Amino acid sequence: MRKIFIYSVISCCLLSLSLISMSMSQDTIKGKWTAKVKDDTITMRMTVIEDKDKGSCHDWNYCRTFKKGDFTGLIWDKTQPFKLVREPGTISFNGKVSNKNGEGDFTFYPDKKFIEFLESKNFDDITSKKLLVLCLSDVNTRYVNDLFKLGYSGISLSKLIAFAIHDISIGYIKGLQNLGYSDLSASKLIAFAVHDISVEYIKKIHSLGFKDISPSKLVSFRVHDVEAEYIKELRDLGYSDISASNLISFAVHDITVEYIKEIHSFGFKDISPSKLVSFRVHDVEPEYIRELRDLGYSDISASKLISFAVHGVSIGFIKEIHSVGFKDISPSKLISFRVHGIDKDYIKYVQSKWDKEVSANKVISLKIHDY
């Protein structure tokens, strides 16, 4: 009996501590606000100074845009109390808003019923700060219930806040699901919103033959600015079957439509996407091709151009080799010269010791055998 009594007392104490902890985590929040006003739109910056350790603190800031009608009791050019009342809680403001700016202080009062609702949906770590963000973002019970119906019943409160911050609406999710993206994770959905992957953007990409494009590829498209117009222009240049991966590589390496047109103008109209990427990676520029032509290399292949660039066969190097009697040296031999470290001075040395008319093959052979 004594043990049962002791366990009951301990249980009650633990429950009391839990309730105290919960109430502390959901206390009111006080802070400052500033506002910029344009027409009927108010962009408000909320600042809370948080004590971390003794003698140290940091600011917590959050910005959101509102309409004048979102507030209760707000009158222009008058120092007064006014409110923002939403399901997660009520923000009581004090201060003055003109037709240009405003400032003052605020107090946030979390709503007990909304906290209970979140708990009933198995959300945990419900703090006043998180409730304040939900309030500012106008997250309500209907939004949460609709998210659960659309398959997001297991998301954390942090993810719910991220949904709110990035304005992920129920209509947006439904639009994505109608396009075949019904199994998007919460993280991927946030990535879509962060990178502004709209339903309209996806429809345009789908219409260009990428109906089965993966969520990850869509994010990469947006990150690297792969737009529908760019894909259309590439098609006009003959790249109608280009893959999503190659498109991303094109964008990463800044393969513009103008660059491709210049490369085509030198006779490389059928150059493959992978070769174009190699051109860009190794800095094969139109001016370099033009100078090679002036030196007599008008029929050089794309592969040889890449090898030239890889092995540092520069215009200056070629001119030096030409100057010591090898004006008709082939691209392959130039590459071999570079690979084996044959320069103008070595050729002069061989010519002085061997023969003025020594062949390129002989020079290479002598170099290989450490002559």
Q: Which two tokens stand for residue 272?
A: 């493959």
What is the C-alpha to C-alpha distance for residues 248 and 283, in angstroms, rounded to an integer? 18
| Crossing angle of the two packed helices 286-294 and 315-323, in degrees rounded to 10 | 10
Tell me what pLDDT residue 52 has.
59
Q: What is the CA radius of gyration of the chain?
A: 34
**Does residue 9 have a pLDDT over 80?**
no
Q: Which residue has the higher pLDDT, 204 or 60?
A: 204
Mean of the pLDDT values across residues 177-200? 97
**Does residue 294 have a pLDDT over 90?**
yes
**Does residue 5 have a pLDDT over 60?**
no
What is the C-alpha to C-alpha distance for residues 252 and 258, in angstroms, rounded to an integer? 16
**Does residue 1 have a pLDDT over 50?**
no
Tell me what pLDDT residue 7 has.
35
Tell me the average pLDDT of the chain.
91
**Does residue 212 have a pLDDT over 70?**
yes
Instruction: Find out whether 127 and 117 touch, Cβ atoms under 8 Å.
Output: no
**Does residue 14 have a pLDDT over 50?**
no
Percent of the chain with pLDDT over 90: 85
Closest CA to 32 of 9, 16, 49: 49
CA 163-169-171 angle, to 5 degrees, is 150
**Model-wide pTM > 0.75:** yes
N-term to C-term CA, the chain: 102
Tell me what pLDDT residue 139 has.
97
Mean of the pLDDT values across residues 258-282? 96
Tell me what pLDDT residue 21 has.
35
